[in-house]
Amino acid sequence: MIALGIETSCDDTGLALVEDGRKVLAALVKRQILEHRKFGGVVPEIASRKHLEIINAGLEELLDKAGMSMDEVDRIGVTRGPGLMGSLLVGVTAGRTLGLIYGKPVYGINHLDSHIYVNFIIHPGLRPPFMSLVASGGHCELFYFRDYGKYELLGSTADDAPGEAFDKAAKLLGLPYPGGPEIEKLARRGNPEAFAFTIPRFKEKSLNFSFSGIKTSVACLVKDKRFTLSEKRDLAASFQRSVIRMLAANAFRGCEIKKSDRLVLAGGVVSNRVLAEHFRREGERRGVSVFYPPRELCMDNGIMTAERLFFPGIRKGDFRIEPDLMIAPAGNG
């Protein structure tokens, strides 16, 4: 079976053709970073217009790359949310139209699902049940993945998502959007012990997250003070380490509670290799195997949307768009 994946939840137009859930026939991601950078965050209106400009030519390019025609596609998967309303509408409309023209079944795909499912193409032996952490620009969710399509939500963020915290901290340090990769780069030569951040406390047993406090701490530190490059490096490294530790503490506690010896990581923030390495080491220490995608598949892409089509728990024709206004507010307050 050949699946076409269309992903337009935020500012990346991702398209892919995947065969049997195992082989990527062609994939492309058109990023819009430069369009949004000057505004310090994703501007929803610009994002949807760009998707509209890109999507048809992108699809042709994808089919060319694979040397295929739409007739050879068996199923179409399109992200229906969570994401930006206008962006989602472009992808969903494109998918449904292709379905009508070529007589192919179309499935609306949950974006958090696909972040997790991309792990199945990378780690072919991976099977549920496992614990799963999705850490992205709009989300922070800890799931117990009991079976395909059957999850239990154990924790989520009370305020900001971790990617959002990275983006906001980066902005405070004068770094461009998106801030995650910039902080990772700056932190490379910084001392992660230089600044201590308070870890938020929830009721005992809660597996929820909070990142707004640490962002406020960074804001207070940089306020009215000119930081040297070396101090900025230290601040970036300390911030990065605290966010990673907060994520890891809950994820591994979730593993203990559910007696899971497998933990699957997903979402744009996981492209941070310091994070991935910390989880891997911590997993080794605790007897938990940690799975995560390569950097480029942590970020939004069409492969993950196509991959979801190869597993149970989806319904044909389900296009209930799930907008999420938390994602990517322009200007990042």
166 binds, among ligand KG4, Zn ion, none (CB under 5 to 8 A by kind): ligand KG4
**Considering CB distances under 5 to 8 angstroms, the limit depending on partner class, which of Zn ion, ligand KG4, none binds residue 299?**
ligand KG4
For residues 13 and 54, what is the distance between their CA atoms, to the nearest angstrom?
7
Cα(297)–Cα(136) distance, integer angstroms? 12
Helices in 5-156 by DSSP H: which ranges?
33-37, 44-66, 85-102, 111-122
Q: Residue 10 and residue 32: Cα distance in Å, rounded?
A: 10
CA angle 181, 272, 51 (to 5 degrees): 60
Among 299, 303, 306, 314, binds ligand KG4 (CB under 6 A): 299
* 173 near ligand KG4, rule: CB under 6 A: no
Pairing of strands 2-7, 75-81: parallel
Task: Determine the interface stretch with ligand KG4 among 72-80, 136-144, 251-259, 278-286 (rule: CB under 6 A).
Answer: 136-144
> What radius of gyration, in Å, describes the C-alpha atoms of the chain?
20
Provide the mask over 140-169, with x wherever binding to ligand KG4 is found by CB under 6 A and - wherever it is not. Answer: -----------------------xx-xx--
Count interface residues toward ligand KG4 (CB under 6 A): 21
Q: Which of residues 250-269 bind ligand KG4 (CB under 6 A)?
A: 267-269
Q: Is residue 178 close enough to count as binding ligand KG4 by CB under 6 A?
A: yes
Q: Work out how close the CB of 102 gets to Zn ion at its nearest, in angstroms, rounded to a whole number.
A: 27
Cβ distance 54 to 13 under 8 Å? Answer: yes
12, with CB counted inside 10 A (0-12, 13-18, 19+), is buried
Nearer to ligand KG4, 108 or 268 (CB): 268
Q: Which 47-66 residues touch ligand KG4, going by CB under 6 A?
A: none
> Where along the sequence are the contacts to ligand KG4 (CB under 6 A)?
9-10, 136-138, 163-164, 166-167, 178-181, 184, 267-269, 271-272, 299-300
> Where along the sequence are the contacts to Zn ion (CB under 5 A)?
136, 300
